[in-house]
Amino acid sequence: MIESIINDMTNLVNKMQEYIKQDIEDIKNAKHEELLNRNDEKQQMIERIAAYKQQLNQEIVSQMQNGVDVNIYRKNVDNLENELRNLYDLNRKLALIVQPIQQMYKDIVDDITDRNGGSILNVKA
């Protein structure tokens, strides 16, 4: 059971890594619609990874209570932790790309708002 959970989590994490790599490429190529198309699935994957984490922790505790030496799973758990670190690093790289773009758009909106006396739209009736 533990190996199955670890394998499922690792597969999800690897898929998530691929999605983030695609996100980075799509940002570079201004394929914004492609980014949006993956968002819902990525959110579901994050939720599934969190659920697997909880299930894995429960299963490890259960095995320990039954006297099983859980160190037999150490190599698989270490691999999963490495993949999670890789995912974190990729996500940080994506954030470093997205954050300046977000700031640029915020600055543009702020500039337009300032020029229009505090509102984005200057409506004259």
Domain ranges within the chain, ordered by starting residue? 2-96
Q: Are 97 and 27 in contact (CB under 8 A)?
A: yes
Task: Dump pLDDT digits (tens) for 13-60.
Answer: 999 999 999 999 998 888 878 888 888 899 999 999 999 999 999 999
Q: What is the pTM of this model?
A: 0.75
Residue 14 has which token pair? 């690897």
pLDDT for the residue numbered 65: 96
Q: Are 36 and 23 in contact (CB under 8 A)?
A: no
pLDDT for the residue numbered 118: 64
Task: Dump pLDDT digits (tens) for 1-12.
Answer: 999 999 999 999
Average pLDDT, the chain: 87
